[in-house]
């Protein structure tokens, strides 16, 4: 079966918001009296807001009532929104516009597959809402990555099967979600972290559509 659709994660693939999620979570952990490292943060990438908070609290040895957790998640999101409020199309990651031009040229369908509830706002800020034929975000799904729901729904909305899809992901949980959905996964990062990806590159700037289609068909 040939590849007919590319499904993109947002944070860390299209735009460098992964660093802002990390900074906001780190600030929250610090206020609670402990710290989180960059290595620990790898396990938070692609994970929903509530699941991330649970992982962070467990890391700090804290168990809090639901009400307090809702308050903390809201606080983190407010800090995150402050950090992203000045973002513009200048914050799109290197190589993204050129890569999307190639994707269109090749006649492939595109979907966003992000568990972020802020994804529509971020896409609007960077002027990329129209770059996607389907947008699946945190408001449309009930299970975050590594559950495959976000990508399975993306394929469904595009009207293609899993075998026709390539997923682009910077997160360990996201790579797993793509594989569990039965898709070819391109890891954006390093092979030592994204061990389950079918191929890995440092950014979309380092990739061509032609090379990916060749690898996916191999």
- The answer, yes or no, to whether the previous bond of 146 is cis (omega within 30 of 0) is yes
Nearest Cα neighbor of 72 from 107, 30, 115 is 30
Tell whether residue 138 is a contact of ligand BG6 (CB under 6 A).
Answer: yes
Task: Tell me 90's DSSP state.
Answer: G
Which among 14, 37, 1, 4 has a CA at the least distance from the CA of 203? 14
For residues 125 and 86, the answer to whether their CB atoms sit within 8 Å is: no
Considering only the stretches 41-49, 90-98, 103-111, 206-214, report the one whose residues sit in contact with ligand BG6 under the rule CB under 6 A. 41-49
* Interface residue with Mg ion, options 11, 147, 176, 198 (CB under 5 A): 11
Q: Is 144 in the site for Mg ion (CB under 5 A)?
A: no
Question: Where would I find the H helices in 37-127?
Answer: 38-42, 49-59, 66-84, 96-105, 119-126
Binding marks (x or -) toward ligand BG6, 140..179, rule CB under 6 A?
Answer: -------------------------------x--------
From the list 10-18, 26-34, 157-165, 193-201, the region that binds ligand BG6 by CB under 6 A is 10-18
Confirm whether 9 is a catalytic residue: yes
CA separation for the pair 153, 140 (Å, rounded): 9
Using CB under 6 A, which of the segments 38-46, 90-98, 199-207, 209-217 binds ligand BG6?
38-46
Q: Is 11 a catalytic residue?
A: yes
List residues binding ligand BG6 (CB under 6 A): 10-11, 18, 21, 44-49, 52, 77, 114-118, 138, 171
């Amino acid at each position: 079966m040939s590849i007919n659709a590319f499904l993109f994660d947002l944070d860390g693939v299209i735009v460098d918001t992964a660093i802002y999620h990390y900074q906001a979570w780190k600030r929250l952990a610090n206020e609670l009296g402990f710290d989180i490292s960059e290595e620990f943060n790898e396990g938070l990438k692609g994970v929903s807001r509530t699941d991330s908070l649970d992982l962070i609290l467990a890391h700090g040895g804290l168990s809090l009532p639901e009400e307090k957790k809702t308050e903390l998640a809201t606080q983190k999101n407010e800090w995150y929104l402050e950090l992203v409020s000045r973002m513009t199309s200048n914050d799109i990651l290197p190589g993204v516009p050129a890569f999307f031009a190639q994707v269109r040229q090749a006649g492939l369908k595109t979907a966003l597959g992000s568990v972020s509830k802020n994804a529509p706002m971020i896409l609007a800020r960077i002027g990329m809402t129209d770059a996607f034929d389907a947008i699946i975000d945190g408001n449309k799904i009930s299970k975050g990555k590594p559950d495959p729901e976000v990508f399975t729904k993306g394929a469904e909305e595009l009207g293609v099967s899993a075998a026709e899809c390539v997923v682009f992901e910077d997160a360990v949980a996201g790579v797993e979600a793509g594989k569990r959905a039965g898709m070819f996964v391109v890891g954006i990062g390093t092979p030592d972290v994204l061990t389950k990806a079918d191929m890995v590159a440092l950014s979309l700037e380092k990739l061509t559509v032609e090379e990916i289609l060749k690898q996916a068909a191999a």
